[in-house]
Structure 1
Amino acid sequence: MRAARFEGDPVLLDAIARRMAPLVPSDTEVLAGLEMGGIPVVTALGRHTGLPCAFVRKQAKPYGTCRLAEGADVEGRRVLVVEDVVTSGGQIVLSTADLRGLGAQVQEALCVIDREQGGADALAAQGIGLLSLLTAGDLRAAAA
């Protein structure tokens, strides 16, 4: 399943977010969606959790607000990073470092699909736990 397929289907995206909501740690104060795939996921998830959302760019804009994260303030708050698909975990590692630089407290990331290609290990090495709705193994089992 390509990520863009569920992200572009509002009914499916809503059902996914509903199933992800119980995975959100109870002390989470802000949901932070990563550009680009995490943005629709975090928006739908925010609707089901009632938590405010931040939208995290890969790089701060060089114009306008010049901010890395738009939306909810992350400074001093417990932030859950939200992504659509995790493969290597590289973007979550980079964005978490940026969020921590802004004063966010990040301990976990939540994704729709963990491709099980080392992302969880890369995140763990940075003190980030990975929570996932589905894994590649789940998808293979469902297709069988």
Structure 2
Amino acid sequence: MTDESLAADIDARCRLTGTFTLRSGQVASEYFDKYLFESDPGLLRRVALQMVDLLPEETELLGGLELGGVPIATAVSGLTDLPALFVRKKAKEYGTCKLAEGPDVAGKKITLIEDVITTGGAVRDATNALREAGAIVEVVVCAIDRSPEGTNPLADVGLEVRPVLTKAQLDAVSGR
């Protein structure tokens, strides 16, 4: 599949219009409901296949961010045989009290997997927490990068963003 056909299918399936408050507090007139592609096995597989080519060679663990990054990381893990790690928004307060469920992260090169990035707040928080636990986190692969074209919202934490699709690509296929 070409990026353009994937972009068209994702756009048709996931773009909603209205008034939406984003995690960052920003208000947007459109929203990409990532759960609409994540719950569609065909679209999820196509996104995961595109992500495989974006993974750094030295990746040891795939860190899926709660909640949207988890199904994508699971799909990518199934395609690559790389172990998946499920990164919570905050450490659970019972049982193991872990922030990241799965293998130990200390000294491991983790590629984060996220659904949509606008300002990168959730990714920034996860990066800082994983680094505090001894992980090496340098790259995040996302399905959709909504940040302004030509900017890296995660440059302040030294994280490279590798998107499957950008908002500009989605806008181009929708004629916006």
* Partner of residue 120 from structure 2, selected from 89, 98, 104: 89
Shift of 1:121: 2.8
- Residue 123 of structure 1 pairs with residue 142 of structure 2: no
Deviant stretches of 4+, over 6 Å: none
- Offset, 1:25: 0.5
Which ranges in structure 1 are unaligned for 5 or more consecutive residues?
none
Q: Normalising by the residue count of structure 1, what TM-score does the alignment of the two structures yield?
A: 0.95
Structure with larger Rg: 2
1:141 match: 172
Task: List per-residue Cα deviations over 1:73-112 (Å, max 9, x = no partner).
Answer: 2110100011000011011011100000111000111100
CA-to-partner distance for each residue in 1:19-73, whole Å, 9 max, x for gaps?
1101000011100000011000100011111100100001111101110000122
Give TM-score scaled by structure 2 length: 0.78
- Which residue of the partner structure matches residue 27 of structure 2? none
In the alignment, is the contact (CA less than 8 A) between 1:93 and 1:123 conserved in 2?
yes
Identity percentage over the alignment?
A: 45
Q: Does 1:52 align with 2:83?
A: yes
| Equivalent position of 1:73 in the other structure | 104
Matched, 1:31 2:62: yes
Distance in 2 (alpha carbons) for counterparts of 1:85 and 1:78: 22
CA–CA separation in structure 2 for the residues paired with 1:103 and 1:28: 15
Structure 2: gaps (5+ residues): 1-13, 15-32
Give the superposed CA RMSD. Answer: 1.5
